Structure 1
C-alpha cells in the first residue's frame, strides 16, 4: 500500500524548509522509524523517518528543493521488499564515447549536498569514499563512516601540521578559491545579527570577576556533586545561570523584550545558552531557571551540547528566551562584544579565565580573573541599570553563598 511522506509541521515562525539529504533512495529498504531525509529550516534540521517497514517508491522533492509545511516530499510503499539492482552491462569504449552527456553519472552528481559539505570541510577526495547510495552515490553517512575509519586505516599517513592546513589539494603557490552555498541556518544567523546591530541602540559595558571563590567551591565539591547527581559534572555555567537569574529578578528591564512600540516585561527567567555546532550557532533555552538546581542546569546544558552536535535540537528547544549567555572563553577569547539576540534586550558574554596580578588590600595577588561583557539595548535599558546588573553578577560570583542566602 502506497502512502505519502510529508514534510513536518513547521511552526508559524518558519515559512518553509529545504531538503538537505535523502538518506534513502527509491527502491531501498527502510525499517520503521529509520531516518530517510533531513529537512533544514531557518532554525534547525528536522528528521523525517519511515512510517513502517517498506521502500521509498518515488522522491517528489529532491535535495536542495524548497518544501512547505506538511507538503508531500515522497511516496512510500509499506511492506514492499527492496528492488534488486539490474546487472550493469559493460558498454564498448566506442559506444561509451557516444553516450549523451545527460546520461553520464558524474562524481558531482553522485555526492549529495550534505555529503559534499563534509567532504569540502575535511579536505577529502570523493573518489576514495565508498558510496552506498543509489548508483553508488555518496551519502552523509558514507563520509562520516569514512572519517571514523580513516585514522585506524592509515595512522602512519597523518600529515604534518604545516601540510594539513590547506583544504584543497592544489600545487603550492597557486591562488585557489572555493565557493560553498551558505546553509539556511547560517544565513538566518547572519541576517538576525545584522538586524540586531541596525535596529537596536546597542551598547556594551564591561567588568571583571574574581573566579577564585567559585573555582575553590567547585574543586571542593565536584567529586561529591558528580556522585550524588548520577554523573552530572559541576561546571562554571550553572553558577553564571543562577547569578544571572537573581540579577534578572532585581533588574526587570534586562529581562524584558521590545515588541514594536511596546516593552514586554517577563515574570519568569528563560535563559538561552549559546551552543556552537557544525551547522552554526544555536541558542537552546533553559526554562524557569529560578526553579532549577545547579545539577538540573548542568545536566540540561550537557544534553543541549550533545544533541546540538548530533543535529537533534528541536524547534521547541530554541523558542522564546528572555536573556542569553554566550561563552567565548571555551575557545580562548579574552574579551569580546556579544551581539543581541532579538527581541531580547541584553546578552552576557563570558570569557577565558586568566591569572593576572591584582591589588588586594594593598598587596599584589595572582588571581584567576574573567572579563564579563553585557551588551544591551539602550532603548530599553539605561546605562545605570546595565552597570548595576553586571556588578550584581560579579558580586554573586565572588561570594557564591549570597545566591543561597538571597542577599
Structure 2
C-alpha cells in the first residue's frame, strides 16, 4: 500500500470506492492517454467517468481556462456573466426545447436535484416515476429515485418514487419479446401504474442507463411513454448527464432516439461538457423553469471559468464533428469487441451505441452476473495499459467503455486487442 493510499484511507469515508487492488494516482494526460505517478502510460477508455469528453489537456480548453483565470475566476449569479449567457444561449438552441431557459449547476447530481425541484413545484406533487436499474446522483433526493440498489444507500426520501419497466432490454419479464411487443408491454405497465397513482410530477429517465451498465430500451419507447404522460399531464425529464453532446453517435441527445413527440419538458446535463471542469445544468421551457416562487441563486453554477472551458469545449466538439466520430469509430469498436468476445462463454452481451459500450459478464454456462470476473478483467486491462470502468444492475458485472470522443481508429483497435487479452487472462 502506497503512502498516499494510506493517507486516503485515514481521512476518507469507507464508502468512497477506489478502483484496483493497488489504486492509481493519475498525474497528467494528453489526448486519449494518461500517466500514473510511477510513469506508466494508459489508453483511457473511461475518461474520468465519461467526463473527459473531447481529450485530456485539449489546448483549446486549457487556453480558455488560463485566459479566463487571468481575468476573473468567480462572481456568482448575482452579477451578469457574459460566458454564462453565451453558453446558455448555445445550449438553449441545441436542446430543441422551445422557449428554453438554462440554469447551471456544478454536477449532474445537482442538475437532477434541480429538475426534481422544478417538476414537483410545477405539478404540486412529490410523486416521481423512475426507471428500474437507473442512477441519477448521490444527493438525498436523487438516491431516492435511483432504481439501482447498489447506489441507493437509504430508503428514506422526500419523494414517493414508483418504478417503471423499460430501461433494460435483455433482462426482466419482457426480455423475450420483440422490440414492438416490448414497447407495448412497457406502455401497458405505465398505464396500469398511472391508474394507481394520484398525480405524478414527472418521469425521469436516462436514454441509456450509465451506472446501470449502458443498457437502453428500443428506440421509440420514451416517445410511446410520452403519449401516455401527456394525457396525464406528467412531465418528462431526460437525464442526459452521460448521453448528451453526441456520445451515442446517432444523436446529439439521447432523447432524440425517441423523438416522435418532440423534446422532453426538462433536460439535465453535466460531465462531458466541461471536459473535466465542474459543470452541470438544467434546460426547461420557460413556463416550467419560472414556476418557483422563492428566491434562488447559484454560488458556483455557471462560474466564468467553467463557462469559458465549456464554450471552448463545445466549439471544438461541433467544429470537429465529434458526434460523427463517435458514430464511426464507436461502430467499429463495438464490432471489434463483439468479434473478440464471440467465443468467450463469460460474455453474455456486448451492447451500446457510439462511444458508450458495455460488455456484460456472466458465470460461464449460466445467466448469473459475475462481478468477480469484471473486477479481474479491470485489473488485467490495467496491466495491459488500458483503463475501463464497470457497472451494472444487480451487481457490477458490466465493463463500461466510454473513451474521449476524439478516439482514433488505431486507438480503438489497440483497446479492443488489450481487452481481448484481458478477458483471456482473467478467464
TM-score range, shorter chain: under 0.3
Structure whose residues are more often strand by fraction: 1
TM-score, length-normalised on structure 1?
A: 0.21
| TM-score calculated relative to the size of structure 2 | 0.20
Structure with more relative contact order (C-alpha pairs < 8 Å, separation 6 or more): 2
**Bigger helix fraction:** 2
